[in-house]
Structure 1
């Protein structure tokens, strides 16, 4: 019949609650109520620990990333490199060979540095390209972007939540298995009593 609820499985939350043994049912035994209380306690523990730990981990990661941003921006600078010769070959392993160019650029102290840079399309003698250099005047990568700091903070917060949720979930699985074994034993005892009563 429509609206009777018979044969209806309910929504995903209802099915999850039933699977976890948290729904109210007059036919449930004491072991079922114990499991439900333990599950509720573990859920409250997770809710109480996960948010503050995620906030702490995300904040710590964000502050560390922001410090790295400031340090790299303070010691890395953009300069213009000028190609002085082309056709150089630099190898990286036995199979991968990268074409390079010889270039000059001003160091942090103003002196002219000469070195090898990866080639780029239409790189000819006299061509210019902006590069990043460190405090020693050596070519380096661009400073850490702020987007990476935000991403790392999000990863840290997620890892904190998973770090708390994993042992809590494992504890509930162990409790569930222990309760299932106890329930099976109770069912066996009930069937044995029914068989004995039937024989009498």
Structure 2
């Protein structure tokens, strides 16, 4: 048996004794409550896995519906910049810059307005934008990959929330338990000191 396996076995044994002190005469009621709470948290965290998967699946399905609606409502067109794009980021538009441009709407009409562009792009540069049925600039449609990312993120976030809440609750309980034990020790030492002064 390697040193690593011995250390791993020792950690597992200590964790199991913390969860279930058994009939150990040195185990106090606080130790038993700590073990019960830890066991409940472990069960809760495990039980949160299917709930997180379900939640992530629901978010994924909802985002797929959004993707279907976006595919029908949004159109990709080519816009031509009518002026040079700024070199520095536009205020309120952290992802890049915006520049004046002209494009043809899905209904055939000409539109002008401000569109996302590369920094420093010169007038006459063609950029690809997304527009709605009326030809107004809109955000890019939701994609299946984006739906997957959103679904997985939602599921993981829910599970981490449950695990974090359980860990926080366990930590608070241990702090309170430590204070209770310290207060008990203080009382015992005070009682012992009184007994010593009487002798």
Partners of 1:130 and 1:76 in 2: how far apart? 13
Match of 2:94 in 1: none
**Alignment partner, residue 72 of structure 2:** 74
CA distance in 2, matches of 1:92, 1:10: 57
Match of 1:132 among 130, 134, 143: 130
After superposition, what is the alpha-carbon deviation per residue over 1:20-72, rounded to whole angstroms, capped at 9, x for unaligned?
82375845323223321232122212322x11321232112112211111111
Alignment map for 1:8-23 (pairs within 5 Å) = 10-11=7-8, 14=11, 17-18=14-15, 21-22=18-19
Matching residue of 2:160: 162
* Aligned: 1:55 with 2:53: yes
Return the offset for 1:195.
9.6
Structure 1 distance, partners of 2:71, 2:43, is 44
2:110 aligns with: 112
Quick check: 53-62 or 128-137, which moved more?
A: 128-137
Q: 1:135 to 1:37 in 2, by over 3 A?
A: same
Partner Cα distance (2:69, 2:140) in 1: 12
What is the match of residue 36 of structure 1?
35
Q: In the aligned structure 2, how far is the partner of 1:162 from the partner of 1:88?
A: 43
Contact kept, 8 Å, 1:88 with 1:102, in 2: the verdict is no
Q: How many residues align?
A: 189
Shift, 1:188, TM fit:
6.0
- Unpaired runs of 5+ residues, structure 2, are 92-96
Q: 1:78 to 1:13 in 2, by over 3 A?
A: farther
More strand by share: 1
* Offset, 1:159: 1.7
State the alpha-carbon separation in 2 of the partners of residues 139 and 40 from structure 1. Answer: 54
More moved, 170-179 vs 72-81: 170-179
Which has the larger helix fraction? 2
**Counterparts of 1:143 and 1:100, CA distance in 2:** 21
Match of 1:45 in 2: 44
**TM-score, normalising length: structure 2:** 0.67
SS at match of 1:69: helix
Partners of 1:190 and 1:149 in 2: CA distance = 62
CA distance in 2 between partners of 1:19 and 1:28 (Å):
16
**TM-score, reference length from structure 1:** 0.67
The 1:181/1:146 distance shift into structure 2, 3 A limit, reads same
